[in-house]
Amino acid sequence: MNEAQTQLAEKIGQLLAQSPLDDKIKSALLEKMDEIPEPLLFKLLDALEMENDDLERTAFEIDLYLREQDEAWKKVTEEQKKVADDAIGKIAKALT
């Protein structure tokens, strides 16, 4: 393999390591890497990069959603506490 092919194989290997693909598929691809034509290797690289981008984007969206939910629950908790404190204050005032 020349240097460009080696770099391509390394990049594919890194992306495969992060991929949720079945380990048998990953192993087969890595074992046969030198037999796969270059256009198919570039297609595989593109597919793995898109998969990685999609997973990162989805993980970001999930993280953002969970943070927003935490903030929303904090606000609800604060509002409920305020309502309860006001009610207790009014009851205490009425009893005095």
User: Is pLDDT above 80 for 78?
Assistant: yes
Single-letter code of the amino acid located at 31 = E
Domain count, the chain: 1
In the structure encoding, which two tokens stand for residue 38, read together?
Answer: 């270059």
Largest alpha-carbon pair distance within the chain?
90
Q: Which domain holds residue 79?
A: 3-95
> Which residues have C-beta within 8 Å of that of residue 95, sequence separation ≥ 6?
none
Taking the whole predicted model, whether its pTM rises above 0.75 is answered as no
Helix ranges (DSSP H) in the chain: 3-18, 23-31, 38-95
User: Which segment of 3-7, 14-18, 25-29, 31-35 scores lowest on mean pLDDT?
Assistant: 3-7
pLDDT of residue 59: 96
Mean pLDDT of 75-81: 95
Residue that has been written with the tokens 């904090």 in this structure: 74
User: Is pLDDT above 70 for 94?
Assistant: yes
pLDDT of residue 1: 65
